[in-house]
Every structure is written in C-alpha cells, then in structure tokens.
Amino acid sequence: MLKVMLVTGGAGFIGSAVVRHLIARTDTTVVNVDKLTYAANLESLKAVEDSDRYAFYKADIVDRNGMRDIFQRHRPDAVLHLAAESHVDRSIDGPRDFINTNILGTYTLLEIAREYWSGLSSERREGFRFHHVSTDEVYGSLGEGGYFTESTPYRPNSPYSASKAASDHLVRAWRETYGLPVLISNCSNNYGPYQHPEKLIPLVIHKALHRQPIPVYGAGDNVRDWLYVEDHVRALIRIVTGGKPGEVYNVGGNSEKQNIEVVREICRILDEVRPHAQPYSDLVTFVEDRPGHDRRYAIDATKISRELAWNPDEDFTSGLEKTVSWYLQNQKWCEAAMQHYQGQRLGLKVAP
C-alpha cells in the first residue's frame, strides 16, 4: 500500500468514500484537495477529519502554484484524480466550468505531477502513479446490445462527457510523450451514501419522502449500469496499487437497469420500510427528456476482473437497499444537502 496518496475532489461523493476507506482500512496518509464547489460536503468526512493521517486543503487544481506547494509539502507516492464537474444537466446549462475544471484543471495537475515525478529518486519514480478517474459517458451511447470495452471509440454527446474525453486524451498523451506513469479508469453510474441530491437515486428518495412529484425523463427507458460506490472505491485502490501504467480499466457493476426500473425499485423499498397510505410510485411524473440524453450505457469489466481480481460485491438490490437505509438514517445530512442544492439552483450563495 502506498504511503502517501493525494486525492483530488476528496470532499465529493466518490472522493469522500475513497478517503474514508483509506483512513479506516489502510495505513496510507491521505492528502485531500478540494475546491469545495456546490457538490462537495465536508460533513462526509467528519469520521476522518481528526486522523493524524489526513490533511485537507481547500484548493483549485487549476492553481499551478498552490498545487505545486502541496506536492512539495507532502511528497505523494500516487495521485488519485477525481476532481471534476460531473452533472450532465449543469453542463448543458453552463459548460464553461466543465471546460475549466475537467480540461484545464487536469492539464495543470498533469504538469505539476510531471515536474514532481521528474525530480524523484529513481526508486520513487518507478513506484509513482497518476490515476485519472473518468466515466463511461465518453464512449457515447450504446444500442440494444453490446458493451463498452477499453477499446471502444470515444463519441461523447454532452459538454460534460466531451470535457472528460478531452481530459482522458491529455492523460494518455502525457504517458506517450513524457513517460508519466498514468492509469485511466472509466466507470459506470455510481450510487450509495453521501451522494449529492441532484443525482437520480438520492433525488428520488428525497422527493418520495416529501410526497413530491418524482420526475423521470422521457419514457424512463434510458439504461444505465449501476455501480455501488464502495465497490468502485475498492476498484480504484486496486488499480492505483496494482494496475499497469499506461493501461485503461473499465469498472462496472453488472447491473443494467432502465431509469424507470430504478425509480420503481426505490418506491418498492420505501413502501416496505416507510409505508404510506398511497404507494410511492403514484408520485412518478414523466417530464420532457433532456437534450442529448444517451440511450444506454453498459460496461464490460472483464479486464479488471481478469488482471486485478476485482469484482463488485453488491448487486443492485443489495446496494440499493443499503443506500435507501442510509438516507433514511441520515435525514439531517440529506436535508442540509438538498437546501444547499436548491439554493445553488436559485443562484443563492449558500455555504457548503
């Protein structure tokens, strides 16, 4: 296990899960760098904030001098790069932040990492890793059959996925041009505890519990492969510690579901554990589809299973039951996150 890992975006949904896992289950020192945008939440890190193996910096990955100082102060053995703008709807409304963070931020981080890596001893240079975490959305949309593999051509269809595709290409280029020991992983849709309420599953839970209309795009027949966040965390650590530099690994949950199936399953669970006079599914409301809504994503995770012995522990039913249970037990966190989210949508200045 690596002695020091620098995690960008460590106050976000996946990043905070990585940080909590590393502090709780390994001896690795974690340096968390996060800009603390609307999607970040330091409450997700309360369990680790007093650890002597944890350091947090409110910093922007676009800030070259600031990032250089953090690298020199903590001398990481690896970078796990998760910092990104990641919500498709927001990228449609305002793509500038996605270009800035996902492309220029990744470029800046690559340059600082290359400068730092070049100055390491030969032994530490050999062991250093830069792991860039991306998305299956860079591959575009699948038809009724087939799966995304590591060799699937890129065909991004939203400003978000285009910005992530660009950052993937930059990471690959820094390997081919400069020899930087990089790794790339492309994951399917994550879900689980502490997820920002703009995402489908926590949004549905919130709407259902407040007896509000549950919006479903189009006919709800868009298909996604769902990956429980703790399974993704295990994959990321397996890749950064055991993956081969220059390689790409696709990470999926083997759980394809139509969006309407996801919504109805949440309603079914709530009917059982928090019954109401009327079924929660009565709240489902179909709304106009969003522009460029990809029809289907599905990951072939054969490579990471074969080469790194990783497979998801949770199927969709078990993972969703754990997720709904967590949200029911953490209503205070959820309400604060939703208030912050709603304030952001109204253009209000609300503290993270």
- 135 in helix, strand or coil? strand
Element counts in the chain: helices (H) and strands (E)? 13, 12
Q: What is the pLDDT of residues 224-277, one digit of tens each?
A: 999 999 999 999 999 999 999 999 999 999 999 999 999 999 999 999 999 999
Confidence band of 25 (pLDDT split at 50, 70, 90) = very high
Q: What is the pLDDT of residues 71-124, one digit of tens each?
A: 999 999 999 999 999 878 788 889 999 999 999 999 999 999 999 999 999 999
Phi, psi of 223 (to 5 degrees): -110, 135
Sign of the four-CA dihedral 89, 19, 65, 109: negative
Would the pLDDT of 351 be above 80? no
Confidence at residue 144, expressed as pLDDT on a 0 to 100 scale: 86
Confidence band of 338 (pLDDT split at 50, 70, 90) = confident
Separation between Cα atoms, residue 178 and residue 329, nearest integer Å: 49
Q: What is the pLDDT of residues 139-158, one digit of tens each?
A: 999 988 899 999 999 999 99
Would the pLDDT of 317 be above 70? yes
Confidence at residue 337, expressed as pLDDT on a 0 to 100 scale: 78
Residue 183 exposure: Cα atoms within 13 Å on the Cβ side: 26
Residue spans per domain, the chain:
4-192+228-253+293-313
Nearest to 130 by CA among 98, 91, 175: 175
How far, in whole angstroms, is CA 36 from its chain's centroid? 15
Catalytic residues: 136-137, 160
* In the chain, % of residues over pLDDT 90: 85
Would the pLDDT of 345 be above 60? no
Confidence at residue 349, expressed as pLDDT on a 0 to 100 scale: 37
Confidence at residue 343, expressed as pLDDT on a 0 to 100 scale: 61
Residue with tokens 């350091």: 55
CATH class of 4-192+228-253+293-313: alpha beta
Would the pLDDT of 295 be above 90? no
Confidence band of 289 (pLDDT split at 50, 70, 90) = confident
Confidence at residue 313, expressed as pLDDT on a 0 to 100 scale: 97
Confidence at residue 196, expressed as pLDDT on a 0 to 100 scale: 84
